[in-house]
Amino acid sequence: MKSGSLSVYAGYLIVGDGKIQENVYLGIEGGVINELSDKPLGDRYGEELDYSGKYVMPGLIDAHVHIRYDPLGDPEKRSHEYQALRGVENARKALKVGVTSLGEAGGIGNVVFAVRNAINNGVTSGPRLFVSGEMITITGGRSKVPGERLEVNGADSAREAARRLLMYHNADFIKLGATGAISSAHTGPRHPQLSVDEMRACTEEAHNCGKLVHGHCYGERGIGNSLEADVDVIVHGQTLTDGHIKFMKKNGLILMPTLKAFCGHLENIEKGGVHTRMEEMGIWAETEPNFRRALEAGLTISMGTDAGMPDDHFTDNYLDLQYMVNWGMTPSQAVTAGTLNAAKSLAVDDRLGTLEAGRYADMLVLGRNPLEDISNIWTSREEVFLNGVLL
Ligand SMILES: [Zn+2]
């Protein structure tokens, strides 16, 4: 990944934690924000860019995507090589619309590690990728094709799978199948899958490495099992009980409601598949009330679109934030969900998610204030910077 040195004048700086500052000069060196000042920084950073009257905010972080999937086809029928190439293209599409980091939560074989490493090594270009590799699941929990997923049975086997991902591949986080899935038609989305012991073995290993664990789950038992096993991020999460919410709040856990995966389904319902299944199983009906209760309780909520699923594209990831606002978030809270909170969900908030000294200069320049209207992120976007480099 190329890195840039320059100074940037921001008429307004959207920090990413809900704050806004006026008249800020950012000194960027080697892709990292070195200093912020209310005075010009002179020529010590070389090139100087003037964004008077503009809004400079952190790049968006979409912390739940599937880059290798083809929204219009069956990923299981394609070769790994093909899926890696598609993964690069999908990741680049997201970058073009201001998503400078992706959390990739559904690898197969070495595919997503290869894409991440190729981008990091400058072999190809793309956004920052934080990848879990293959989801850890029970036998047959996702696919009916034997051996196609990272299937485990028992705590020892789960621990070994997590260690393989973390040690051989340097997985950035671990993804667990705590329940069945809408997209796996042979499973019940609310049926628990991995046991508490199996999941706990994985959370121990991930936490030992300073990495987080994301639990795919629906329904009271699967969510409860995940929380009992020390899972850090509840993905989807219909439906949280009052007890779940209280526990998550107390322990600073994160909800990733993946609203874009659900809210887009109505316009595609005639296509059937996941679009009708989420209605039939009552999950769509639970989505809005569940989100509103989590929001009202003050849970930490992160952006995550599930892009790659049917009709869930990489060209409009930002709509996740619009759906959050439609259901009661303030634009400021939605900006935080798409920046700082998403960085927290990947345990990279020491590097990303805000524009402060020591953070990477992944930035968007907007013509209008996103704290007034969230859609200004995409309707007034003028520039995208990755690692201090203007794209
Ligand atoms: Zn997903």
Cα(10) to centroid of ligand 1, in Å? Answer: 36
Q: Reply yes or no on whether the pLDDT at 365 is more than 90.
A: yes
Cα(343) to centroid of ligand 1, in Å? Answer: 17
Burial of 110 (0-12, 13-18, 19+ CB in 10 A): middle
Cα(306) to centroid of ligand 1, in Å? Answer: 5
Cα(22) to centroid of ligand 1, in Å? Answer: 38
Supply the pTM of this predicted model.
0.96
Cα(106) to centroid of ligand 1, in Å? Answer: 7
Cα(64) to centroid of ligand 1, in Å? Answer: 6
CA–CA separation, 189 vs 303, rounded Å? 21
Q: Transcribe 191-236 into DSSP letters.
A: SB-S-HHHHHHHHHHHHHTT-EEEEEE-SHHHHHHHHHTT-SEEEE
CB-based contact 131:171 (threshold 8 Å): yes
Among residues 254, 311, 303, the alpha carbon closest in space to that of 278 is found at 311
CA–CA separation, 175 vs 216, rounded Å? 7
pLDDT of residue 282: 87
pLDDT bucket at 204, cuts 50 / 70 / 90: very high
Cα(261) to centroid of ligand 1, in Å? Answer: 9
Cα(105) to centroid of ligand 1, in Å? Answer: 6
Among residues 50, 34, 127, 67, the alpha carbon closest in space to that of 314 is found at 67
Tell me the torsion sign for CA atoms 307, 310, 316, 321: negative
Cα(331) to centroid of ligand 1, in Å? Answer: 25
The side-by-side arrangement of strands in the sheet containing 99-104 is 60-65, 99-104, 128-131
β partners of residue 104: 65, 131
Q: Reply yes or no on whether the pLDDT at 76 is more than 70.
A: no
Q: Transcribe 124-172 into DSSP letters.
A: S---EEEE--SPEEETTSS-SSTTSSEEE-SHHHHHHHHHIIIIIH--S
Cα(66) to centroid of ligand 1, in Å? Answer: 7
Cα(208) to centroid of ligand 1, in Å? Answer: 25
Q: Reply yes or no on whether the pLDDT at 52 is more than 70.
A: yes
Q: Reply yes or no on whether the pLDDT at 143 is more than 90.
A: no
Cα(104) to centroid of ligand 1, in Å? Answer: 9
The overall average pLDDT reported for the chain is 94
* Residues found in the chain: 391
Q: Reply yes or no on whether the pLDDT at 355 is more than 90.
A: yes
Cα(335) to centroid of ligand 1, in Å? Answer: 21
Q: Which element (helix H / strand E) includes 91? A: helix 80-96
pLDDT bucket at 295, cuts 50 / 70 / 90: very high
The DSSP call for residue 174 is E
Cα(357) to centroid of ligand 1, in Å? Answer: 33
Cα(258) to centroid of ligand 1, in Å? Answer: 8
pLDDT bucket at 209, cuts 50 / 70 / 90: very high
Looking at the chain, the whole-number percentage of residues with pLDDT higher than 70 is: 98
| Residue 72: other Cβ atoms inside 10 A | 8
Cα(259) to centroid of ligand 1, in Å? Answer: 11
More confident residue, 82 or 270: 82
Q: What is the mean pLDDT of residues 205-223?
A: 97
Cα(381) to centroid of ligand 1, in Å? Answer: 27
Cα(12) to centroid of ligand 1, in Å? Answer: 35
Cα(34) to centroid of ligand 1, in Å? Answer: 35
pLDDT bucket at 322, cuts 50 / 70 / 90: very high
CB-based contact 363:80 (threshold 8 Å): no
Angle at which helices 196-208 and 220-228 cross, to 10° = 40
CB-based contact 6:28 (threshold 8 Å): yes
pLDDT of residue 77: 65
Q: Which residues contact 74 (CB under 8 A, 6 or more apart)?
A: none
Q: How many CA atoms lie within 13 A of 349 on its CB side?
A: 18
Among residues 103, 101, 175, the alpha carbon closest in space to that of 136 is found at 175
Among residues 231, 199, 227, 191, the alpha carbon closest in space to that of 214 is found at 231
Q: What is the mean pLDDT of residues 250-262?
A: 97
Cα(181) to centroid of ligand 1, in Å? Answer: 9
Q: Which domains does the chain have, with CATH numbers?
A: 6-57+355-390 (2.30.40.10), 60-345 (3.20.20.140)
- Between 281-290, 318-327, 338-347, 361-370, the lowest mean confidence (pLDDT) is in 281-290
Cα(100) to centroid of ligand 1, in Å? Answer: 19
Q: Reply yes or no on whether the pLDDT at 134 is more than 90.
A: yes
Cα(131) to centroid of ligand 1, in Å? Answer: 12
Task: Tell how strand 363-366 and strand 300-301 pair up.
Answer: unpaired
Looking at the chain, the whole-number percentage of residues with pLDDT higher than 90 is: 82
Cα(11) to centroid of ligand 1, in Å? Answer: 37
Q: Reply yes or no on whether the pLDDT at 72 is more than 70.
A: no
Cα(48) to centroid of ligand 1, in Å? Answer: 40
CA–CA separation, 87 vs 43, rounded Å? 39
Q: Which residues contact 155 (CB under 8 A, 6 or more apart)?
A: 195, 197, 198, 200, 201
pLDDT bucket at 78, cuts 50 / 70 / 90: confident
CA 327-331-335 angle, to 5 degrees, is: 110
Q: Reply yes or no on whether the pLDDT at 153 is more than 80.
A: yes
Cα(292) to centroid of ligand 1, in Å? Answer: 21
Q: Reply yes or no on whether the pLDDT at 171 is more than 90.
A: yes
Cα(304) to centroid of ligand 1, in Å? Answer: 9
Cα(216) to centroid of ligand 1, in Å? Answer: 8
CB-based contact 13:20 (threshold 8 Å): yes
